[in-house]
A and B are shown apart, each in its own frame.
Chain A
């Protein structure tokens, strides 16, 4: 069973640019969530996708957007990058059926905005 994978591992961008981060969910999972983790802080929930639809969103501006594909993999897109977007971006997958089940996290993508 393959776990949650993310790409790329590290990324350096300049202010104003756009970035796309990718996540492959664990086999059998139908839900993907994205988080931003600044240094020394707990992860902040960005949004969740369930069956290809956004199913909940944290306090992030619209320049943070996402997609979920039929194979349940997902992308996080960030437009007009700002210096404060520098963080570890984490993706988590889970199976949502009659109940909300355990989330499993990928290793993260470290984004640096210069």
Chain B
């Protein structure tokens, strides 16, 4: 059974720092991996989607990488801002099932 783990569970950084969030999964047979952010009590906002054949995707200050063989993905956030404070979730798509991690709660201190 696929298991998705996100480390750390919580992270607090000063404004302006670059940071890396980690996501690991146990079964490399995935179609894609997607990163989301979630604000308290809200739905999920898609950040980046990486197909299984891709190694990375970039959008603005965000860069996500995927190493399928080792079961790892990272989300890199450059020059963090207080507005980046949220919970970040990764999800893997195995074709007919989706598996989410429990998220990393990020606080960016002004």
In the complex, A108 has a CB within 8 A of chain B: yes
Pairwise interchain contact B32-A104, C-beta atoms closer than 8 A:
no
A-B residue pairs, 7 tightest by C-beta: A56-B96, A42-B100, A105-B44, A107-B43, A105-B43, A102-B49, A45-B98
- The number of chain A residues with a CB under 8 A from chain B is 28
Other-chain contact of B46, A42, A44, A103, A108 (Cβ < 8 Å): A103
In the complex, B45 has a CB within 8 A of chain A: yes
Binding site for B on A (CB under 8 A): 4, 33, 35, 40-45, 48, 55-58, 88, 90, 92, 99-108, 110
Known A-B contacts A58-B97, A107-B43; A100 and B32 likewise in contact (beta carbons under 8 Å) = yes
- Measured in the bound complex, the distance between the Cα atoms of B95 and A33 in whole Å is 12
In the complex, B74 has a CB within 8 A of chain A: no
> In the complex, which residues of chain A have a beta carbon less than 8 angstroms from the beta carbon of B91?
42-43, 103
